[in-house]
Amino acid sequence: MTRYACVTGADRGLGYELVKQLLAHDYTVFAGRYHVEWKLLDDLRKEHPDRLVLVDLDVSTDESVAQAAAFIRSRTAILEVLVNNSAITGDNVSTIADPLNFDEMLKVYNVNAIGALRVTNALYPLIVAGSKKLIMNISSEAGSIGNCYRKGWFAYCSSKAALNMMSAITHNNLKEVGGQVILIQPGWMKSWLSGKYHDEAPLTPDIPAAKLIGIIESPETYKGNSPAYIDYEGNPLQF
């Protein structure tokens, strides 16, 4: 039977690697496309013309999410897993003593927190219809209030904390029908997050992506009353 997955923000970085590895595990993948000039997904599609489906998806607007969800619904009634991966960072320098850009903060919340909820909300019936009923939200250690040490990163950290709370509420619904939400800290990765390539990071995104596939294939290990909030190796984080 065909197993369907959906990954947001899949043009590059972790999202792209997850798409690649889900394809390698025989999933048919709806890959959310946002950065259309970036051509990795087009090349990958040549290798998997039947199982890689590119979907224009800007998680920050109701209209784009509604259109993408309608397209996905026209192709399947069931999604085994939704991975909410899209994110932006915003200003990561200013402290409380500096002028802060509140409009930019709202944009970061809209992508990182509300964006994930918007997509989840639109695709929820398809997830409930699946056997895994799994939502994997790519969070960060930056979303932990208990372990907060930064003096800046207001938008990114608080957007990930909000994502964690939205995930807890969604999990409370999903667990009643046998599903779950898992929150992931993927590690410090070489990626284009925040618009420039972070070569100084220790991990290439394929490494956490491979571990996340293992978690997607055996999510029962992480079932609980609250969503699991774990790093890519499965170690728990403090909310």
Ligand X SMILES: NC(=O)c1ccc[n+]([C@@H]2O[C@H](COP(=O)([O-])OP(=O)(O)OC[C@H]3O[C@@H](n4cnc5c(N)ncnc54)[C@H](OP(=O)(O)O)[C@@H]3O)[C@@H](O)[C@H]2O)c1
What single letter denotes the amino acid at residue 237? Answer: L
DSSP category for residue 112? I
Cβ-based nearer residue to ligand X, 55 or 127: 55
Q: Smallest gap, in angstroms, from Cβ of residue 178 to ligand X? A: 26
Tell me the closest approach of the beta carbon of residue 180 to ligand X, in angstroms: 19
Name the residues that contact ligand X, by CB under 6 A.
8-9, 11-15, 32, 34-35, 57-60, 85-88, 111, 138, 140, 186, 188-189, 191-193, 201, 205
Query: How far is Cα 33 from Cα 74, in angstroms, rounded to an integer?
Result: 18
Give the list of residues 6+ apart from residue 43 with CB closer than 8 angstroms, or none: none
Other Cβ atoms less than 10 A from the Cβ of 130: the count is 19
* Least distance between ligand X and beta carbon 38 (Å): 7
- Residue whose CB is less far from ligand X, 2 or 90: 90
For 217, other C-beta atoms within 10 Å of its C-beta total 10
Question: Which C-beta is closer to ligand X: that of 88 or that of 216?
Answer: 88
User: What is the enclosing helix (H) or strand (E) of 16?
Assistant: helix 13-24
DSSP string, 172-231: HHHGGGT-EEEEEE--SB-S-GGGS--TTSSB-THHHHHHHHHHHH-GGGG--SS-EEEE
The whole-angstrom separation of Cα 170 and Cα 175 is 9
**Torsional sign, CA 203, 205, 208, 211:** negative
Shortest Å distance, C-beta 154 to ligand X: 15
Residue nearest to ligand X (CB): 13
Cβ closest to ligand X, residue 110 vs residue 129: 110
Rounded least distance, CB 138 to ligand X, Å: 4
Q: C-beta of 160: minimal distance to ligand X in Å?
A: 7
CA dihedral 86, 111, 134, 191 (to 10 degrees): 20
Give the nearer residue to ligand X in terms of CB position, either 35 or 73: 35
76 versus 159: smaller Cβ distance to ligand X: 159
